[in-house]
Structure 1
Amino acid sequence: MTTFISIFRPLASRSFVVQDHQTALHFKDGRYVGLLAPGKHRFWTSGHEMKCVDMRAQAILVQGQELLTADQVALKVSALATFQVVDALAMHRATQDVSSALYTDIQLALRQIVAADVAEVFLQQKGDHGTKLLALVAVNAEALGLKVARVDIRDVMLPADLKRSFMSALQQRQEAQAGLEKARAETAALRTLANAAKLMRDNPELLQLRYLQTLQEVGTSAGNTLVLGLTDYGKLTASAPDRL
């Protein structure tokens, strides 16, 4: 779990340094005095204390939680949040263990999100849950002196029997989709043939042109022998020759 702050350091006539990624809370005899900026500081009297706070962006991982969906399916869900301290004094005054407080808030938000949907809907909308989690966590995080940049569902683990059911259903949907696409292609082909037949029926010269085109294609192939009879092209409008 992420460590936010260092322990108190009593100061008595000594110098100390605050790093440029830190801020330090300065106390005198237990009373808050102010923030100490990065740099070197020295106090010549006793009773001074400081508490250093890391102001860099950090991450916290919420390990897999066994949570029930609206249809009572147990899912193991983990989440990852990124955040940083924006108010060191508010963080110090809000709780003794701010990391545990944030961890608990994310746990409760996960429980609320998972319980709101049935398992199938939750899995289908997995990519949208981060926005919902952030909205639930951000308000409490602000009270802790933190700014949460994002919260995302990291992993969702299904029970073995449910995983098999989902895989079977997915395979069936894919097979049904493939069958539907095949039927659509066949329908389109039949529609094209029907349109072509109607054109030839309404325009007999098209059939004659098609007949000549076929002769040309066959004639250009090596090894083919064409036997042409004296044919009345007008009769081609009624029926095409069975053989060449």
Structure 2
Amino acid sequence: MFGGVIIFLFLALLFSALRVLREYERGVVFMLGRFHKVKGPGLIIIIPILQQMVRVDLRTIVMDVPTQDVISRDNVSVQVNAVIYFRVLDPERAIIQVENYLEATSQLSQTTLRSVLGQHELDDMLAERERLNADIQEILDKQTAAWGIKVANVEIKHVDLNESMVRAIAKQAEAERERRAKVIHAMGEAEAAEKLAEAAQVLSHEQQAIQLRYLQTLTEIAGDKSSTIVFPIPVDILEKFTRSSA
């Protein structure tokens, strides 16, 4: 009876001492409260009572940053959320240097997102997301390096505006389109006026050119469906015929 109890306790201790870590897992082992070593993957042995182990996942973690209220540099209130991709490179520091590296990374991401976007205007948030993503990623990566964490990428997902701001931006875009249309129209008028001035200067020096232009106009009008055409004949042309008959 007593021998059976001993065997049972031995087997229980043996099974409790065995741990299996997957390929993407590491075990941070402590010996009497002090860091001992990082083990894994595969089958490892933990001495009961004397040693404790904390599992660490080395895969890339995708973390949603909750929606943050941000006031841009031009005093526009927007709501922004993002997603962060990071992974643990040093399991020892991830467990020892910070209490909960997941919670710490999440909180740091929220404050960094508000801080970085608050330094830019609304137009930058809407048009230059890649640059803002890179800035946030660089800041996070520097601060989480002490925890053994590598921030691989940051993506701003949505920049939400209130309804009044959406209407204001729509009016601004419409005004900008009208301004561009007027500028293009004015440039066309200026170019046309310049060409007309050049043509008038050429016609003023070439009398025959004026007569050819007159005849061309008659040809164009003759192609019209009108039955009767009244067109004044310049005196210069009549003088040409008068001189030839004389």
> Scaled by the length of structure 2, what TM-score is found?
0.72
Show CA shifts across 1:185-228 (max 9, x none). 23223323333333344455555666677788899x79999xxx
Q: CA deviation at 1:103?
A: 1.2
Deviation larger for 54-63 or 118-127: 118-127
Q: CA deviation at 1:105?
A: 1.1
Tell whether 2:132 aligns with 1:129.
Answer: yes
Q: Secondary structure of the residue that 1:13 maps to in structure 2?
A: helix
Instruction: In structure 2, give the amino acid aligned to 1:142.
Output: A
Report if the CA contact (8 A) 1:77-1:154 is conserved: yes
Aligned runs of 1:32-51 on 2, under 5 Å? 32-38=35-41, 40-43=42-45, 45-46=47-48, 47-51=50-54
Deviation larger for 129-138 or 29-38: 29-38
Q: CA deviation at 1:25?
A: 2.0
Residue of structure 2 in register with 1:175 after alignment? 178
Show CA shifts across 1:125-182 (max 9, x none). 4443222212322221111211112223221111222222121122111122122212
Tell whether 2:14 aligns with 1:13.
Answer: yes
More helix by proportion, 1 or 2? 2
Using a 3 Å threshold, how does the CA distance of structure 1 residues 193 and 160 change in structure 2: closer, same or farther?
same
Instruction: In structure 2, give the amino acid aligned to 1:32.
Output: F
Q: What is the alpha-carbon root mean square deviation over aligned residues?
A: 3.5
Q: CA deviation at 1:98?
A: 1.0
Report if the CA contact (8 A) 1:69-1:119 is conserved: yes
Instruction: In structure 2, give the amino acid aligned to 1:61.
Output: D
- Tell me the matched-pair count: 221
Report if the CA contact (8 A) 2:83-2:155 is conserved: yes
Report if the CA contact (8 A) 2:19-2:45 is conserved: no
Deviation larger for 66-75 or 201-210: 201-210
Residue of structure 1 in register with 2:84 after alignment? 81
Aligned runs of 1:77-226 on 2, under 5 Å? 77-120=80-123, 122-204=125-207
Q: CA deviation at 1:32?
A: 2.4
Q: Secondary structure of the residue that 1:81 maps to in structure 2?
A: strand
Residue identity over aligned pairs, in percent, reads 24
Query: Could you tell me how far apart the structure 2 residues matched to 1:195 and 1:183 are?
Result: 18
Residue of structure 1 in register with 2:230 after alignment? none
The gaps in structure 2 that reach 5 residues or longer are 1-11, 228-232, 241-246
Query: Could you tell me how far apart the structure 2 residues matched to 1:42 and 1:161 are?
Result: 61
